[in-house]
């Protein structure tokens, strides 16, 4: 049983055995004595202690233990190096740098070799490329439509700066030991001497003064650009936060509204909400809200952290948010899939309607923007009269399909067949949904008016309802079809018959072979040009025949 001591290394608490503590204490004292003559020895010692604390922490995690033993101290000090083992300055200068002494680089912004934000220098160190080539690449990208500006700003925001000596050494891939610390300090001292000599030379009159002035101007401009760039980044971050906050508030208000009307029939006119069962809506609404809310909240937190240097969220909070988002997504998918079972079966039914016969066999077909309803109302004299009621019903955001086709009748009487189809969880439910369809058409003398859209009875749920109308027309009949109706329902059949002009109707004749209409001038010209290009000698046909 060994005695343990609690120590603090760079703000990190460690439990260490007494003999290990003595060895570590002696090592740190040797390091302090070695660097005592250096001007910034306090910073050097702090960086070394930070590295030692990091290595101890890695060892404790790797071995799943809580106490540092003498073997751990020996391992760390051997990796860091012993001041007594340092080579002389002359021998070190003669010995080439071994590539094996370099380790994996980390990406930082080099603040010592920066022009604006140190991004190019940091990337150059990471890929072992001279920083000037990275700067040239960004400049070329910036010249070509400014493509280099956005990546540079993104890198500036995301890449941390190398603030400490340890981070600068990791940026360059140098091994973190005492020899590297000493080498790094000596390089800094040499750089200071070089800058002092350059400053002395720049103080000379003539061209040197002019060059110094130009460098100062450029330096100030770049410093101003760097400050302005940071302001722009913060403005962008502010707008991101404002936008995400507005979306969050809107989503929350929408959730409250939808939950308030979740069981109401009023919501059955809003697509795609009217495709959901009333009992499933609250769960799906809440799940959808959380799926949108959590990423937006994460975007706000990330923006605050990156753009405004706020503290990061703890791992437990981040993990909880992720789990809630995954749970909400899974719950939403499950209940949406459950609701999708209402579309499993399809069923349809048809009804045949006889139309009023016109002795002249002339019929006008047109579409109505308003839904048309025909009712029989008895007057006070006891006779019936026909009253046409039109009502504007614009709540047709729900998908509905209405198809009208022309067929040659088997007899001399016009008629039509309306087929209603829908889906449901079983056949009975699908038939019920098909009976919930509302579709109206109205005939007055030779005029037949069709609604462009169908509706649902009693605020019924949408179940992929569809209406197919087959209009049976006797042979030798003449149809005048409204151009808007033809574009809506018959475009594929009589596309070549639609003429842009003052004529409102398209003339269509019913023959034994099918329906025919006269080609438009544009269609004839297109066919003529096609025949000439393909050397076709057949005479042009001015009629379009379709079934």
Name the most confidently modeled range: 168-177, 490-499, 524-533: 524-533
Dist CA 254 CA 249 (whole Å): 9
pLDDT for the residue numbered 455? 82
**Given pLDDT bands bounded at 50, 70 and 90, which one contains residue 431?**
very high
Q: pLDDT for 263-301, tens place per residue?
A: 555 566 677 777 888 888 888 888 988 998 888 888 887
348 vs 210, which has greater pLDDT? 348
Confidence (pTM): 0.50
pLDDT for the residue numbered 427? 93
- The DSSP result for 298-357, as a single string, is HHHHHHHHHHH-PPPPPHHHHHHHHHHHHHHHHHHHHHHHHHHGGGSEEEEEEEEEEPPP
170 vs 512, which has greater pLDDT? 512
Residue 383 contacts by C-beta under 8 Å, 6 or more apart in sequence?
A: none
Does residue 74 surpass a pLDDT of 50? yes
Name the most confidently modeled range: 34-43, 239-248, 252-261, 445-454: 445-454
pLDDT for the residue numbered 349? 92
Mean pLDDT of 1-10: 81
Dist CA 288 CA 272 (whole Å): 13
Contact in structure between 248 and 297 (CB atoms under 8 Å): yes
Q: Of how many residues is the chain composed? A: 547
Does residue 72 surpass a pLDDT of 50? yes
Mean pLDDT over each residue of the chain, to the nearest integer: 75
**Given pLDDT bands bounded at 50, 70 and 90, which one contains residue 422?**
very high
**Given pLDDT bands bounded at 50, 70 and 90, which one contains residue 499?**
confident
Q: What are the CA-CA distances from residue 116 to residues 84, 120, 228, 488 (Å)?
A: 41, 9, 11, 61
Work out the percent of the chain whose per-residue pLDDT is above 90. Answer: 10
Name the most confidently modeled range: 23-37, 104-118, 196-210, 345-359: 345-359
Work out the percent of the chain whose per-residue pLDDT is above 70. Answer: 73
């Amino acid at each position: 049983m060994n005695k343990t001591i609690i120590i603090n290394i760079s703000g990190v608490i460690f439990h260490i055995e007494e003999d290990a503590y003595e060895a570590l204490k002696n090592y740190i004292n040797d390091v302090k004595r070695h660097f005592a003559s250096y001007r910034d020895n306090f910073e050097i010692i702090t960086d070394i202690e930070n590295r030692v604390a990091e290595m101890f922490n890695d060892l404790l995690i790797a071995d799943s233990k809580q106490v540092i033993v003498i073997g751990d101290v020996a391992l760390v000090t051997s990796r860091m190096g012993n001041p007594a083992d340092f080579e002389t300055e002359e021998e070190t200068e003669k010995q080439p740098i071994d590539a094996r002494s370099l380790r994996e680089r980390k990406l930082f912004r080099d603040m010592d070799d920066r022009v604006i934000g140190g991004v190019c220098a940091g990337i150059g160190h990471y890929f072992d490329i001279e920083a000037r080539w990275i700067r040239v690449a960004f400049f070329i990208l910036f010249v070509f439509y400014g493509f280099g500006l956005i990546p540079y700003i993104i890198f500036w925001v995301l890449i941390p700066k190398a603030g400490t000596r340890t981070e600068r050494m990791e940026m360059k891939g140098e091994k973190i030991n005492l020899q590297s610390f000493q080498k790094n300090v000596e390089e800094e001292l040499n750089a200071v001497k070089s800058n002092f000599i350059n400053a002395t030379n720049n103080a000379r009159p003539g061209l040197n003064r002019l060059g110094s002035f130009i460098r100062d101007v450029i330096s100030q401009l770049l410093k101003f650009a760097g400050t302005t760039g940071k302001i722009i980044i913060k403005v962008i971050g502010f707008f991101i936060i404002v936008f995400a906050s507005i979306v969050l508030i809107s989503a929350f208000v929408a959730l409250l509204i939808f939950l308030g009307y979740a069981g109401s029939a009023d919501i059955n006119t809003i697509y795609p909400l009217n495709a959901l069962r009333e009992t499933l809506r609250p769960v799906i609404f809440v799940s959808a809200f959380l799926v949108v809310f959590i990423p937006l909240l994460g975007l706000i937190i990330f923006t605050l952290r990156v753009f405004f240097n706020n503290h990061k969220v703890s791992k437990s909070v981040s993990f909880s948010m992720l789990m809630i988002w995954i749970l909400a997504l899974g719950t939403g998918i499950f209940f949406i899939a459950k609701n999708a079972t209402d579309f499993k079966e399809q069923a349809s039914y048809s009804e045949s309607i006889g139309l009023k016969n016109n002795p002249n066999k002339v019929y006008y077909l047109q579409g109505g923007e308003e839904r048309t309803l025909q009712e029989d109302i008895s007057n006070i004299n006891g006779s019936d009269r026909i009253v046409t009621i039109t009502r504007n019903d614009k709540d047709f955001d729900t998908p509905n399909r209405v198809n009208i086709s022309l067929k040659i009748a088997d007899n001399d009487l016009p008629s039509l067949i309306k087929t209603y189809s829908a889906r449901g969880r079983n056949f009975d439910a699908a038939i019920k949904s098909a009976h919930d369809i509302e579709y109206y058409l109205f005939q007055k003398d030779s005029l037949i008016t069709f609604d462009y859209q169908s509706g649902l009875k009693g605020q019924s749920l949408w179940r992929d309802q569809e209406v197919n109308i087959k209009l049976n027309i006797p042979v030798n009949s003449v149809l005048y079809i409204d151009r808007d109706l033809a574009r809506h329902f018959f475009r594929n059949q009589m596309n070549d018959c639609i003429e842009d002009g003052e004529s409102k109707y398209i003339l269509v004749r019913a023959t034994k072979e099918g329906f025919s209409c006269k080609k438009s001038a544009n269609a004839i010209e297109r066919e003529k040009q096609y025949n000439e290009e393909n050397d076709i000698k057949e005479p042009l046909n001015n009629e379009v025949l379709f079934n």
